[in-house]
Amino acid sequence: MSDEKKVLLRISNLKQYFPLKKRGLYVKANDGITLDIYEGEVFGLVGESGCGKSTLGRTILQLYKQTDGRTMYYGKTLDDLAPKYMLDTVKNLEKKIAEIGEKEKKRDELQAHYDKLSEKEQFEKHAELDAAKKAASDALLDVANIVGGFMALKDLSRVKAAYEANYSLARKRRDLRVERARAQVEHDDAAFENRNASAQEEKVKSIDKQIADLDREIDASVKAIDALRQPHMNDPEFQKFEAMRDEGVDLARLTYNEIRLLRQDLQIIFQDPYSSLNPRMTVGQIIGEGLIAHNIFRKNNDRMKEYILKVMDDCGLQGYFLHRFPYQFSGGQRQRISIARALAVKPKFVVCDEAVSALDVSVQSQIINLLQDLREQQDLTYLFITHDLSVVKYISDRIGVMYLGNMVELAASDEIFRAPAHPYTRALLDSIPTTEEKKEIKVLEGDIPSPVNPPSGCKFHTRCKYCTEICEHVTPAWEEIAPDHFVACHHRLGAES
Ligand code: SF4
């Protein structure tokens, strides 16, 4: 990973609750996860089955509709995608700004009341105050993410007009880019088949020209927005808001078609290479399906076949497998097919969900090496999910350890192995089988508690040998104990007592 770290995904307070039939009860699979994933890194996510790590991977990709929190994606900008929620926010600016005012007022009133309460009463009221704080900051973020900090004040109609103009240009450019991709495919097909491609070439050039004109118009519209910003820079009211517009795309707010456009960027490799491949499709069809869906090719022709063979070769699959069906392969080969299917569309971010867990140990290392090579060649970012710490040791730049819906420790991979600070991480490390003679394997005892009704205080306290009274009642804070090393524990390991 380069020193210059650029955030690709910013996950804030992400919650994923699944309702049970009995009203009012939820399985809290993810209970407030906050995490940045950097471009080009491999982030290892570890924990026992049922800790919520697979749910997190799928929720980030919006395969589940998230219950709460934000998932911001920076692989595309708001102007690239021009999502509908951007226009909705701008159209309703007055209403949204009034909402911010109301929610901040409610928060401040509650805070004033809270400050006068006894400690016991404060304990009862703090959830209400937290909810009010969150509602106020969410209302602000909604607007600030789209239009930046200056919007709240004067000249609202000019601000709206400037943004609406910017939005409509961005939308046109997005549609033109899709059209250009199709035209390029037609051109490449014609050239590959030695047909005269001059008409297609003209079309691509003409779309390029229109896009370049739009780029200029969009630049001008951004300058118009900046000009509106300037007079308010010294306004004290302005200071209340974020000065910068957040260029990220809020994945949870995209429409079905918008998220489909992003699917190409965001891919997943599943654990079970048996059930994740359609048994009625050949390898060529399996890999080709996404290529046609994402307009990378328009039809199954020789040029597409050549491309599929190249992808198969990159993934260690022989060309003569092209017309074979999944049942004709071993587990390791099937997982190579899954990898080829995911990577053929040239994604930016791939969730590898227990991608090697179903494979023999000897095959596991081959697949990990393959993923590592492909990552370097194609500048990929992985979220590598596994229950087995030893698997992520070599592939991950950083590791996050999850327990019962929460992150309990997060640090660079070697730091997690060298100086684990959370008793749960220590227990996972102790349970790794080893060939060292004197090292005893310690299996973590007790079952993981129910995520419907998790233990109070520290959720790990029912299984932790360091548990004291405070652990049973007070949720430990998420603290940075060394640069980029975070942990949530009252009695972390290695700390002075
Ligand atoms: S907070 Fe207490 S119970 Fe939880 S991991 Fe730390 S020592 Fe164990």
Residue pLDDT, tens place only, 312-366: 999 999 999 999 999 999 988 999 999 999 999 999 999 999 888 877 888 888 8
Q: Is 395 in the pocket of ligand 1 (CB under 6 A)?
A: no
Q: What is the pLDDT of residues 377-397, one digit of tens each?
A: 999 999 999 988 888 888 899
Q: Is the CB of 403 under 6 A from ligand 1?
A: no
Confirm whether 324 is domain-assigned: yes
User: Does 467 contact ligand 1 (Cβ within 6 A)?
Assistant: yes
pLDDT tens for 476-491 read 999 999 999 999 999 9
Q: What are phi and psi of 349, to 5 degrees?
A: -130, 130
Task: Say yes or no: 89 and 171 in one domain.
Answer: yes
16, part of any domain:
no
Residues 228 and 306 in one domain: no
Helix (H, G, I), strand (E, B) or coil at 132: helix
Rounded Cα–Cα distance for residues 448 and 444 (Å) = 10
- Judgement on whether residues 453 and 338 belong to the same structural domain of the protein: no
Tell me how crowded residue 42 is: count the other CB atoms within 10 A of its CB: 25
Residue 436 maps to a domain: yes
Q: Are residues 120 and 224 in the same domain?
A: yes
| Local confidence band at 2 (pLDDT 50, 70, 90 cut-offs) | very low
The answer to the question of residue 185 being in a domain is yes
pTM for the model: 0.89
In whole angstroms, how far apart are CA 316 and each of 49, 105, 380?
A: 30, 61, 18
- Which atom of ligand 1 sits closest to the CA of residue 465? 8
Q: Rounded CA gap, 451 and 422, in Å?
A: 20
Distance of CA 23 to CAs 20, 27, 333, Å? 7, 12, 45
Give yes or no for residue 423 CB within 6 A of ligand 1. Answer: yes
Structure tokens, 31: 């209970």
- Average pLDDT of the chain? 88
Regarding the beta carbon of 489 and ligand 1, being less than 6 Å apart is answered yes
**Which of 324, 346, 368 lies at the terminal end of a domain, its last residue?**
346
CA atoms 395, 401, 403, 405: torsion sign: negative
The boundaries of the domain holding residue 216 are: 80-247
**Domain boundary pick from 346, 368, 392:** 346
Q: How far apart are CA 287 and CA 347, in angstroms?
A: 14
Residue 169 belongs to a domain? yes
Structure confidence by residue, pLDDT tens digits, 95-131: 888 888 899 899 999 999 888 888 878 877 888 888 8
pLDDT tens-place string over residues 239-290 = 555 756 678 899 999 999 899 889 999 999 988 877 889 999 999 999 999 9
The answer, yes or no, to whether any atom of ligand 1 lies below 6 A from the CB of 460, is yes
Counting the structural domains of the chain, the total is 3
The H-assigned helical ranges of 193-267 are: 198-229, 256-263
Shared domain check, 95 and 188: yes
Q: Over the Cα atoms of the chain, what is R_g? A: 26
In terms of domains, do 334 and 435 share one? no
Name the pLDDT band for 90 (thresholds 50, 70, 90). confident
Whether residue 282 is found in the same domain as residue 242 = no
Say yes or no: 92 and 228 in one domain.
Answer: yes
Tell me, in angstroms, the distance from the centre of ligand 1 to residue 13's CA. Answer: 21
Q: What is the pLDDT of residue 171?
A: 92
**55 falls within a domain:** no
Strand-strand pairing, 349-353 and 266-269: parallel
Ligand 1 pocket member 491 (CB < 6 A): yes
pLDDT of residue 497: 45
Q: Are residues 216 and 320 in the same domain?
A: no
Does residue 465 fall inside a structural domain? yes
Ligand 1 within 6 A of CB of 478: no
Q: How many A from CA of 449 to the centre of ligand 1?
A: 15
Q: Could you say which of 322, 346, 370 is where a domain stops?
A: 346
Give yes or no: residues 106 and 200 share one domain: yes
Atom of ligand 1 nearest to the CA of 468: 2
The answer on 444 and 302 residing in a single domain is no
Nearest residue CA, atom 3 of ligand 1? 461
Instruction: Specify the DSSP class assigned to residue 437.
Output: S
Atom of ligand 1 nearest to the CA of 408: 5
DSSP state of 385: E
Determine which residue's CA is closest to atom 1 belonging to ligand 1.
Answer: 489
> In angstroms, what is the span from residue 492 Cα to ligand 1's centroid?
7
Q: Separation of 41 CA from ligand 1 center, angstroms?
A: 30
Q: Is ligand 1 within 6 A of the CB of residue 466?
A: yes
Pair 347, 291: CB distance under 8 Å: no
Q: In what order do the strands lie in the sheet with 485-487?
A: 266-269, 349-353, 381-386, 42-46, 398-403, 406-412, 485-487, 479-482
Give residues with Cβ within 8 angstroms of 252, minimum separation 6. 62, 65, 66, 70, 71
**309, part of any domain:** yes
Asked if 340 and 473 sit in the same domain, the reply is: no
- Residue 490: CB within 6 Å of ligand 1? yes
Residue 337 Cα distances to 110, 207, 340, 346, angstroms? 56, 36, 5, 15
pLDDT at 158: 81
Cα 172 to middle of ligand 1, angstroms: 54
Residue 458 CA to ligand 1 centre (angstroms): 6
pLDDT of residue 457: 93
Are 384 and 395 in contact by the 8 Å Cβ rule? The answer is yes
